[in-house]
Amino acid sequence: MDKKELALEVIRRLKKEYPLAACTLDYRDAWQLLVSVRLAAQCTDKRVDMVTPKLYEKFPSVRALAEADVGDIEEIVRPCGLGPSKARDISRCMKVLHEKYHDQVPDDFQELLSLPGVGRKSANLVMGDVFGKPAIVTDTHCIRLCNLIGLVDNIKEPAKVEKELWKIIPPEEGSDLCHRFVHHGRAVCVARHPRCENCCLKDICRHGREALSAE
């Protein structure tokens, strides 16, 4: 099968395996998702979800974070690592949201990219999860699984993987598929030790076929 047919079959099987496709970060509002995804850089979602309630208890709104001292933000988010840069980005982002967008997160991809500390991954996550628009979130799970399965060929740069996936994945499926990649990457296709024998994709996955045939 070609890559487009492979993508459709991967979507079908992962849908059956993981019926509920949802973001693994806890958030209530769009601005909170922006904060969480910035904190998640080089940090686990579990740790982020332990830190953000403390942050929102002290600063419960866009305005509160925009007016907060960066040092106070850093003190709370320090357990997530890279405290100074993350606190600075969160502060600057919230200031722009407060002053330019009246505390609302824009639903335009390019406008999201213009926000301090917001890259393509963050923008796509917000577009898909908050606004229900076509999105492909090329996080580490997505990039690793797409290369192993054979949806892309030895491409590691997030923007390039995203570009290739847009060619083969129906727009309405992108966001949920990326969430399912995360679930599958944590449960079965574990980094460095993929459990190919237990994988629902083993007969169509390039790596799975090679691994099982080598046994």
Question: Is position 121 annotated as part of the catalytic site?
Answer: yes
For residue 83 the two structure tokens come to 């405290």
Going by the annotation, the residues of the binding site are 189, 196, 199, 205
86, 89, 129, 139: which is the annotated catalytic residue? 139
DSSP string, 44-63: -HHHHHHHHHHHHHH--SHH
Q: How far is CA 161 from CA 29, 61, 105, 118, 154, in A?
A: 28, 35, 26, 18, 9
**Measured between alpha carbons, how far is 120 from 61 in angstroms, rounded to an integer?**
24
**Measured between alpha carbons, how far is 70 from 151 in angstroms, rounded to an integer?**
42
Going by the annotation, the residues of the binding site for [4Fe-4S] cluster are 189, 196, 199, 205
121, 133, 156, 160: which is the annotated catalytic residue? 121
DSSP string, 14-39: HHHH------SS--SSHHHHHHHHHH
Question: Is position 72 annotated as part of the catalytic site?
Answer: no
Nearest to 135 by CA among 117, 115, 108, 114: 108
Q: Which residues are catalytic?
A: 121, 139
